[in-house]
Amino acid sequence: MIGAVPLGLALAFFVAAVLYASVGFGGGSTYAALLALSNLDYRLLPMVALACNIVVVAGASVRFARAGLTPWRGALLLTALAAPAALLGGLTPIDESTFMLLLGTSLVLTGISMLIPINEGTLDEPTKLAKAMPIVAAPLGFLAGLVGIGGGIFLAPLLHLSRWHDARAIAATASFFILINSLFGLTGQLLKHGPGAFGGAVGAALPLILAVAIGGQVGSLMAVKVLPKRWIRWLTAALISLVGLRLLWAG
């Protein structure tokens, strides 16, 4: 189980939630990295990371929807394909070494994905790659449920590269994608480990959940202006990649 939550860890979760929520992400990759470094039981890690994801992106998803930014037809198609796979991922038994291998690899890939340039302006017609986006939805959903990463941070760069939609619509889609995947993935984890493990994990991690709840609201209401978003992406990419490499090396 989780012991007393250090103040530094809660603060790190708060900062991560602010940064990720400001661009429509949940922060599951960073939460997973921080929890892995804190030596949390790997079986509980996805439940805590997914719960934090849900708290952060729920507010952002509502905000995007109210602003009319969510392209519902495309977002619902991608999510409908990913959500059942997320449930399956949450239900899938996995040993610790395999879990750490997958988590470490996913963190490194997350870091790489964050280095892909994003065009914030209005884009031209979608490329042929845009039509293939539904193909990647299910694997990302499975990964979301298995290791506690929402999958949106992988999906968004692909959507940008394919010119699937404009930047704000992609952020809204990624947020909704993460929310539904996290809900289904968490359901799978609950069914696999039982309500007792889920209640214990989430109850003990309540300070972290409160930290991301506040951070998510702050990030969703204001753009981060302390550093350029490009710098934030680079610094976060470097941190996540280093943690992922550390997990792979230790494994």
pLDDT digits (tens, 9 = 90+) for 3-53: 567 888 999 999 888 888 877 788 888 898 888 888 788 888 899 999 999
- CB of 215 closer than 8 Å to CB of 13: yes
Distance separating alpha carbons of residues 200 and 5, to the nearest angstrom: 14
Per-residue pLDDT tens for 184-217?
A: 999 999 999 888 888 888 888 899 999 999 998 8
* Cα angle: 154, vertex 48, 19; to 5 degrees: 50
What is the predicted pLDDT for the residue at 39?
Answer: 79
The most confident of the ranges 24-28, 110-114, 178-182 is 178-182
What pLDDT is recorded for position 142? 94
* pLDDT of amino acid 80: 96
DSSP H helical segments within the chain, as ranges? 7-21, 28-37, 45-66, 72-91, 96-113, 133-147, 152-161, 167-193, 195-204, 206-221, 229-250
Asked if residue 86 lies in contact with residue 144, where contact means CB atoms within 8 angstroms, the answer is yes
Alpha carbon separation from 46 to 187, 196, 222 (Å, rounded): 11, 15, 28
Q: Is the pLDDT of residue 176 over 90?
A: yes
Of 238 and 188, more confident: 188
Model confidence band, residue 1 (pLDDT cutoffs 50, 70, 90): very low
Over the chain, what is the mean pLDDT?
84
Instruction: With cut-offs at 50, 70 and 90, classify the pLDDT of residue 156.
Output: confident
**Cα distance between residue 130 and residue 147, in whole Å:** 26
* Phi and psi, residue 198, nearest 5°: -65, -50
Query: What gap in Å lies between CA 129 and CA 210, rounded to an integer?
Result: 39
Q: ∠ at Cα 55 (51, 57), nearest 5°?
A: 115
Give the span between the Cα atoms of 54 and 178, in whole angstroms: 8
